[in-house]
């Protein structure tokens, strides 16, 4: 399954008040494994960045002056998320901003009902506990020591790890190809029946001698 872990940074809390998206970060996962395919842009909002917002993400108006407008990256963004399930922490917030920008360009909006909201999952899983990204990183021992400011791409990567944990944890898979040619050889005293996962362990010569010596004690006791 193809999933896009997505996050945004904005100039404020509501597009109805004139606030805009200033950063989008997304990472691709297939079957809960990061592929390396990503989407990341800083965006010129054509307005100032308030100090309250700057204190959260550290992105200044000056920094954004030479960045592309949303309309310049919109089609690339749509192509990136196409045919994928979106995974977002506090999805209504990000979708509200993204749909506002898409609507201004007469582009199709994103259906919130089809988005996986990790904040909602965390609240159901750990009722009453803090469910922000930092709290979940601490709970699942995800390293967020470099998260001095919020950042869309950085937070998307953190969320990808949290999402896997919220989904039940990563299943360990072994592949000979992934081991760079190192071949695991079964021990000589182990045989596989081929029926399910049943394993027959054959005792070694030393183990047989110890077993026979143990049995002989009982045989000698019976003859006394």
Note whether 100 and 74 are within 8 A (CB): no
pLDDT in tens, 138-152: 999 999 887 777 899
* Token couple for 163: 């999402």
Is 89 designated active site? no
pLDDT at 199 over 80: no
Which is catalytic among the residues 19, 57, 89, 150? 150
Higher pLDDT, 195 or 10: 10
pTM: 0.74
Residue 13: which of 92, 114, 67 has the closest Cα? 92
Q: Which residue has the tokens 């002056």?
A: 65
Task: Over range 131-135, report the average pLDDT.
Answer: 95
Beta-strand (E) ranges in the chain?
2-10, 21-30, 33-42, 85-88, 116-117, 190-192, 199-201
Q: What is the pLDDT of residues 62-117, one digit of tens each?
A: 999 999 999 999 999 999 999 999 999 999 999 999 999 999 999 999 999 999 99
pLDDT, position 150: 86
Residue 177 above 70 pLDDT?
no
Closest CA to 24 of 164, 155, 163: 155
């Amino acid at each position: 399954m193809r999933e896009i872990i997505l996050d945004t940074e904005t100039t404020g809390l509501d597009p109805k008040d004139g606030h805009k998206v200033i950063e989008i970060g997304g990472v691709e996962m297939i079957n809960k494994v990061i592929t390396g395919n990503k989407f990341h842009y800083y965006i010129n909002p054509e307005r100032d960045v308030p100090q309250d917002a700057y204190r959260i993400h550290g992105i200044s108006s000056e920094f954004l002056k030479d960045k592309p407008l949303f309309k310049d990256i919109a089609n690339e963004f749509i192509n990136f998320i196409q045919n994928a399930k979106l995974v977002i922490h506090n999805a209504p917030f990000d979708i509200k901003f993204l749909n506002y920008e898409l609507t201004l360009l007469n582009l199709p909006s994103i259906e919130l009902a089809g988005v996986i909201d990790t904040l909602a999952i965390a609240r159901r899983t750990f009722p009453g506990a803090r469910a922000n990204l930092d709290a979940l990183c601490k709970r699942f021992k995800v390293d967020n020591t470099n998260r001095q400011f919020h950042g869309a791409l950085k937070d998307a990567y953190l969320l990808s790890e949290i999402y896997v944990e919220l989904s039940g944890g990563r299943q360990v898979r072994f592949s000979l190809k992934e081991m760079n040619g190192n071949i695991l050889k079964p021990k000589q005293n182990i045989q596989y029946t081929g029926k399910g996962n049943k394993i027959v362990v054959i005792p070694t010569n030393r183990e047989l001698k110890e077993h026979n010596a143990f049995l002989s004690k009982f045989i000698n006791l019976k003859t006394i």
